[in-house]
A and B are shown apart, each in its own frame.
Chain A
């Protein structure tokens, strides 16, 4: 879905309610505080627009034009949040230059996509979605294997295993339960339409991996069922638990949410790179297994 404004928003703008809601949601995702996304363009929304504009405009005017620079920044098509950036290789060189392990040619990095922004308020994402629990996953799918350790081990539950596929999901490959991977392909398709500059920079740190949760001897990682995935942007993993998330993740999270994927940024300890099937999506996946 490509996001477009039908009219300008802000000072002297048309302020059509759906447009205002869209701008408010994007402002929230970029760490601004326009208040609730209620479609009313009041002082807080205008203040948030101006604050956001201060990162790239010398004279903030509080107006988001239909095709203006503020909209492009908000919508991720321009330089994104934070303004500055650090050139194609990031601030210093970013460890990896040309991503030598990549198979396909990739476009120049957009360092702004990995600019860190505060974790968005919890009432702005995962709306209507419920995170799965270990007991629910065990009950719904069964145990993916007999024993677990801290290492990734193969799934040996035959009923689940026959549904495991490895398939290309746009710019990367994913291994997981077939319906989950198919859903990811749909998500990626929408990301590619909405954010063509971002999509090729998305990679993965893995999907299926049967192991215990970090530092646990009993709880099983949700990756064990092949219904969770960790993502990278520009080859970087968002740091676990720092309360900040990469800007690009805030752009794609709403798309994941629409397809029933729960964003790990909402966990008690923020896990911004993590997306997993919500309760509803898990049931849907279960219903599609053969």
Chain B
């Protein structure tokens, strides 16, 4: 995912704003900062709100996916970053700025989850787990398509491969 990450850095990097203008048009983007917000939600820039789970509080969270009425809405990927640590990703769906269903891709494995009151609930029902991976794979494919449309072939390939891995996880 290194190349995709580089692509994302391109999207949010101010120094490359001109070069990335087309990408910004292609992908409504949220950079949500949960560190300083009392309600856990603060958008930066204030154009697309995303409420991240409390375990991501204090981390820089990016959203690549659709945005409706000022809130993340639809399938995409949220990426949480902390200095010196590998990023965590959430592939899945968001409704009106609230995560609903998907899979966390963390350094030691995958965590499928559905959300209740903004917090992830661990799934232990196999049907639900399979469904969560299906949602996550579809979200990764959507992100891949967005990168492909923007002609960022490396990021498109990375997310397509992520989709493949998510699709294949459950037998």
A interface, CB within 8 angstroms of B: 86, 89-97, 99-102, 111, 114-116, 150-152, 172-173, 203-209, 211, 213-215, 221-223, 230, 232-241, 246, 271, 274
B55–A94 contact, CB under 8 A? Answer: yes
Residues of B within 8 A of A237 (CB): 109-112, 169
Residues of A within 8 A of B124 (CB): 101, 172-173, 203-206
Residues of B within 8 A of A209 (CB): 126-127, 130
A69 to chain B, nearest CB (A): 23
A44 to chain B, nearest CB (A): 29
B56 to chain A, nearest CB (A): 6
B126–A206 contact, CB under 8 A? Answer: yes
Residues of A within 8 A of B122 (CB): 96, 99-102, 203, 235
B171–A92 contact, CB under 8 A? Answer: no
Q: Quick one: given A100-B120, A240-B165, are A93 and B88 in contact (CB under 8 Å)?
A: yes
Question: How many B residues, CB 8 Å from partner?
Answer: 40
Majority secondary structure of chain A interface residues (helix, strand, loop or mixed): loop
Q: Interface readout for B92-113 with A: 1 if CB under 8 Å, 0 if not?
A: 0000000000001011111111
Q: Quick one: given A221-B171, A237-B112, A240-B168, are A95 and B120 in contact (CB under 8 Å)?
A: yes
CA distance A230 to B119 in the complex (A): 24
Q: Quick one: given A92-B88, A95-B55, A95-B111, are A205 and B120 in contact (CB under 8 Å)?
A: no
Interface positions of B from 59 to 91, Cβ below 8 Å from A: 59, 80, 82, 85-88, 90
Residues of B within 8 A of A151 (CB): 127, 130
B interface, CB within 8 angstroms of A: 53-57, 59, 80, 82, 85-88, 90, 104, 106-113, 116, 119-127, 129-130, 165, 167-171
A207 to chain B, nearest CB (A): 8
CA distance A90 to B127 in the complex (A): 27
A246–B109 contact, CB under 8 A? Answer: yes
CA distance A235 to B85 in the complex (A): 20
B109–A236 contact, CB under 8 A? Answer: yes
A267 to chain B, nearest CB (A): 10
Q: Smallest CB-CB separation from B119: which chain A residue?
A: A100
Ordered nearest first, which 10 A-B pairs have the shortest CB separation? A206-B126, A95-B104, A236-B109, A114-B108, A101-B122, A93-B55, A97-B55, A152-B127, A101-B121, A237-B110
Residues of B within 8 A of A115 (CB): 108
B168 to chain A, nearest CB (A): 6
15 A-B residue pairs with Cβ-Cβ distance under 8 Å, sorted by A, are A91-B106, A92-B87, A93-B57, A95-B55, A95-B111, A96-B55, A111-B108, A206-B127, A215-B168, A236-B108, A236-B111, A237-B110, A237-B111, A237-B169, A239-B109
CA distance A172 to B121 in the complex (A): 16
